[in-house]
Chains A and B, each alone.
Chain A
């Protein structure tokens, strides 16, 4: 304790304490400077992320009527959500079906983005040799991420619509007689759009892991007689695992909470975990919306915990 005071009053006096950086005498103590530097960001997260999360949990236990919040303890947000779940057993109730559907969408999008993301990252990391090309091609993959998601969704309309390019092309070639209805505003278009939007979140972390793999390990595997496939399975995939896990966490959490892509590309007809929340908010049933948010948060948290068992995220950044 006294050492700490001394250190603050006159840093550098105590041998072996503090880094070389802290050794220069300044009037402000290093820990105060750290607070000054990190404090503003911490405050933003506190005010606009942590406290709001607490409010979500609190309000999920409030009561409500048609037009306002009633700050009194009630489990109505939850009971309304799980209404009929016990009575309907063994059939699934609405919320059960919705979550099952969301998980199914999630799984499909995850599998496809993982496949595409892995090979795109693999190509960039191992086959593109020149740094300039690597940078240029990575940029090519990143630029769409900087443009609007809604625009990238509606961009599918002229291609997939009833009279869109795909349908008219297929009709012209005689493969089908009538335009396919399931191309747009369907589960298919939702998955397609989600893959289109979020493969980026898979490519970046996997590429990051792959670029750190020591190329001599691959040469060693080759010299030891491993086939390309054996090198892939026994060397590259294990070493790229952190990136794969981080990318998977991104994609899964995005799809679990998505309501915009599912809304726009599903023609507002497909139920999903995120959409329940939106619907409840639009009906001004905030406690019910908050209860659904808590359920979604818990499920998302469980998925992340399961996945981060596989890899220490902090170590990888």
Chain B
């Protein structure tokens, strides 16, 4: 092949850089604008620099009860993350051998991923409405609703995060060497010991990746929450509500605060994955490296 890089490399490198700028440019613009001065408006130029709008958010003088929505979203995100990790790892293990209903579960996950969110959301809300009506008719007339953050809301989020978790598990086990487990078994490990001391440490970085998907997708989820979350709002729903009425930079401040949480979680997760990979490289086995 030719020496040096072909011309197409430079053309595509510029194209790629433009794409990255397109991805990040607008986001950075609102992070900057959320530090507008108190007199500042919705667009550039900046009218002074201050933390006025961010402080205003935390004082609760804004339009929405931000603190409550923040805590709700955080709680839901953490629960979704834990459930997604546990169920995905378990189901991923199951897929390593044949079992009945394997393809039903697979196609359910894929369908859940691609059926438009509004339909899933509507279906969940109908389901819970009908359950409510049944309870009212047969058991308790004063019953209000079974819909809520941790019932219908949690379910709605899981229909979105679990398919990602399962697909990541597929990717993990595609390049997992089953001989490592066989070796563990030959040495007398129980199935649980094999999982706990051999499989889990190897797949742990990717499992943290599943957790990252679980939390961030839930933290920002909107379409599925829209009909299924019940009476209360999550943070993204409040933010969306603001888009139609807002005239102040406090919407940017709210966006910046939400993003700050996302970026903190992303950094923590990627940092942990990096450390784990480093440790694996340093202390891990030499399996698969061939004979000495």
Contacts and interface: CB of A to CB of B under 8 A. Distances in A.
A and B associate: yes
Interface of A: 19-22, 24, 26, 30-31, 33-38, 40-42, 44-56, 59, 69, 116, 119-120, 122-124, 127, 137, 139-141, 143-144, 146-159, 161, 163-165, 168, 196, 199, 219, 222, 228, 249-250, 253-254, 256-260, 264, 268, 274, 277-278, 281, 286, 289-290, 293, 296-297, 300, 304, 313-314, 317
B114 interface: yes
Nearest to A53: B123
B22 to A, nearest CB: 7
Contacts of B5: 127
A150 B13 contact: no
A37 B90 contact: yes
Contacts of A46: 108
Contacts of B104: 42
Contact of B97 (A22, A44, A196): A22
20 contacts: A21-B178, A21-B181, A31-B100, A34-B97, A35-B94, A37-B94, A38-B102, A45-B108, A69-B133, A124-B16, A139-B270, A143-B266, A144-B23, A146-B220, A150-B236, A158-B29, A274-B118, A290-B122, A290-B126, A313-B110
A293 B118 contact: yes
Nearest to A140: B20
Interface in B54-71: none
What 7 pairs between A and B have smallest CB-CB spacing? A257-B116, A52-B123, A48-B155, A34-B99, A155-B26, A37-B94, A38-B94
Contacts of A157: 30, 42-43
B96 to A, nearest CB: 8
Interface of B: 1, 5-6, 8-9, 12-13, 15-16, 19-20, 22-27, 29-30, 33, 41-44, 86-88, 90-91, 93-95, 97, 99-106, 108-112, 114-120, 122-127, 129-130, 133, 152, 155-156, 158-159, 162, 166-167, 170, 178, 181-182, 185, 191, 212-213, 216-217, 219-220, 222-223, 226-227, 236, 239-240, 243-244, 251-252, 255, 258-259, 262-263, 265-266, 270
Interface of B is mostly: helix
A264 B243 contact: yes
A155 B101 CA distance: 44
B220 A148 contact: yes
A228 B91 contact: no
A155 B34 CA distance: 11
Contacts of A196: 22-23, 26
Contacts of B116: 253-254, 256-258, 274, 296-297, 300
Contact of B119 (A144, A155, A165, A277): A277
Nearest to B89: A37
Nearest to B167: A317
B47 to A, nearest CB: 12
B15 to A, nearest CB: 6
Contacts of B212: 146
B119 A293 contact: yes
B123 A24 contact: no
